[in-house]
Homo-oligomer: A and B are copies of this chain.
Amino acid sequence: MPELEPLFLRACRGEAIERVPVWFMRQAGRSLPEYRKLRGEGSILEAIRSPELAAEITLQPVDRYGVDAAILFSDIVIPLVGIGIDIDVVPGRGPVIAEPFGTSADLRRLRPLEPEEDVPYVLETVRLLTERLGVPLIGFAGAPFTVASYLVEGGPSRDFVRTKALMHGDPPLWRLLLDRLADLAITSLRAQVDCGAGAIQLFDSWAGALSRADYERHVLPATRRVLEGLADLEVPRIHFGVGTGELLDLMAGAGAEVVGVDWRVPLDRARQRVGPEVVLQGNLDPAICLAGFEVAARETRRVLKEGGGRRHVFNLGHGVLPATDPEVLTRIVELVHRVSAESGADGER
């Protein structure tokens, strides 16, 4: 008799589930004392380049929380680092690009990624994890728009002024840039899956800064290219962004099985926008976890109720905040599992 697939993967495929699976974006990281101890003051890029270290960091929250999936410890700029773009990841700020992208001459710097040559450490980390993990590993990449925004702005941005100016001022160059970044994402994600990742997440974290018209015209085609370029791998694809309430229907049509939703949109409203088939991931407000477990528990129950118990992967609406008490997350995992099992997660029990 074939072994049942892990809960997380079945949930992502929209199959009947005995309870709602849970993992947390940025579950590995500064909120964990064991992470701070392991990392010390070292550079995050150095840690990512060290497979044993990166694998250990990836495993830490799985061991501690009992979550239903692991997510590779890496960064969305790693494929750019791999092809030789000069990037530093500055603590408390984010990626900083030495020479931002500005003209068609800069396209030359965006050569294709050769994973075994350019980012062998990522593949090695995935291989180590595939041996050691008892739950599926989520590989990931940055979506073309979000990666482009770092490249064009030179770092994190509030208003995305340069990015939008390029998008509107030179649409052919913008399209070429996004296509290159789509290829990078596809190549990186395929390699992660080849080495054992059981699902992938495409982070379009800042897509919510765009108007619907801009997203549909200037971003969606490249995102769709990434997701469709992975269809033959038959691993669940998760598509995530923050502040994307107005884009959810478009995102749901881009090809992923799972769409992430931040805490601004109640899941029952999100369901109306994405239709009955798509699986929703989310959407507890990460800041709520800092208000104590009693409050977090009440909000967790609300999220579970709005999620409807099926076609739902429980998560935060964005990453774990560094000041979060890990004990609260442990108890949330336990609560999600217990409540959703009791109420009959698949709605058929």
Please give the residue numbers on chain A whose beta carbons come within 8 Å of chain B beta carbons, in ascending order.
159-161, 164-165, 167-169, 208, 210-214, 243, 245-246, 263-266, 269, 285-288, 290-292, 295, 299, 302, 321, 323
Tell me the nearest residue of chain B to A262, going by C-beta.
B211
Number of copies: 2
The answer to whether A291 and B165 touch (CB under 8 A), given A159-B286, A266-B213, A302-B213, is: yes
How long is the Cα–Cα vector from A266 to B243 in the complex, in angstroms? 15
- Residues of B within 8 Å of A321, CB to CB, are 159, 161
Contact partner of A287 (CB less than 8 A), chosen from B161, B269, B286, is: B161
Q: Are B323 and A291 in contact (CB under 8 A)?
A: no
Residue of A160, A161, A164, A213 ringed by the most chain B CB atoms within 10 A: A161
Tell me the nearest residue of chain B to A263, going by C-beta.
B211
How long is the Cα–Cα vector from A100 to B235 in the complex, in angstroms? 48
Query: Could you tell me the distance in whole angstroms from the C-beta of A86 to the nearest C-beta in chain B?
Result: 25
- Residues of B within 8 Å of A265, CB to CB, are 212, 246
Tell me the nearest residue of chain B to A283, going by C-beta.
B211
Query: Could you tell me the distance in whole angstroms from the C-beta of A167 to the nearest C-beta in chain B?
Result: 8
25 inter-chain pairs at a CB distance below 8 angstroms, sorted by A residue, are A159-B321, A161-B290, A161-B323, A164-B291, A165-B290, A165-B291, A165-B292, A167-B291, A168-B291, A169-B291, A169-B292, A208-B243, A211-B263, A211-B266, A211-B285, A212-B264, A213-B266, A213-B302, A214-B285, A243-B264, A245-B245, A245-B264, A246-B265, A246-B266, A246-B269
Tell me the nearest residue of chain B to A244, going by C-beta.
B264
- Residues of B within 8 Å of A208, CB to CB, are 243, 264
